[in-house]
Amino acid sequence: MARPSSEMTEPRVQALIPAAGRSVRFGGALPKQYCQLLGKPVLAHSIEAVQKHPLVRGVTVALAPDDRWYDELIRPQFPRVATVAGGESRAETVISGLRQVMDQDPGCEWVLVHDAARPCLTPTSLRNLLEKGLGNRCGAILAVPVSDTLKQADDRGFIERTIDRSKVWAAQTPQLFPIRDLAGNLESALARGLVPTDEAAAMEAAGARPLLVECDSGNIKITGAGDLALAELIMQRQMTGE
Give me the tens of pLDDT residue by residue for the chain, a chain 242 residues long: 444 444 457 899 999 999 998 754 555 678 999 999 999 999 999 999 999 999 999 999 999 999 999 999 999 999 999 999 999 999 999 999 999 999 999 999 999 999 999 999 999 999 999 999 999 999 999 999 999 999 999 999 999 999 999 999 999 999 999 999 999 999 999 999 999 999 999 999 999 999 999 999 999 999 988 999 999 999 999 988 75
pLDDT, residue 4, reads: 45
Rounded Cα distance, 174 and 47, in Å: 11
pLDDT, residue 128, reads: 98
Rounded Cα distance, 219 and 114, in Å: 11
| The pTM of the whole model exceeds 0.85 | yes
pLDDT, residue 7, reads: 47
Give me the CATH code for the 12-240 domain, please: 3.90.550.10
- Torsions phi, psi of 68, nearest 5? -125, 15
Judge if the upstream peptide bond of residue 174 is cis by omega within 30 degrees of 0: yes
Rounded Cα distance, 145 and 170, in Å: 6
> Rounded to 5, what percent of the chain is helix, strand, coil?
35, 25, 45
Residues 6+ apart with CB under 8 A from 3: 10, 54
Q: How many CB atoms lie within 10 A of CB 168?
A: 13
Rounded Cα distance, 222 and 231, in Å: 8
Rounded Cα distance, 226 and 223, in Å: 8
Q: How many CB atoms lie within 10 A of CB 129?
A: 27
The domain ranges of the chain are 12-240
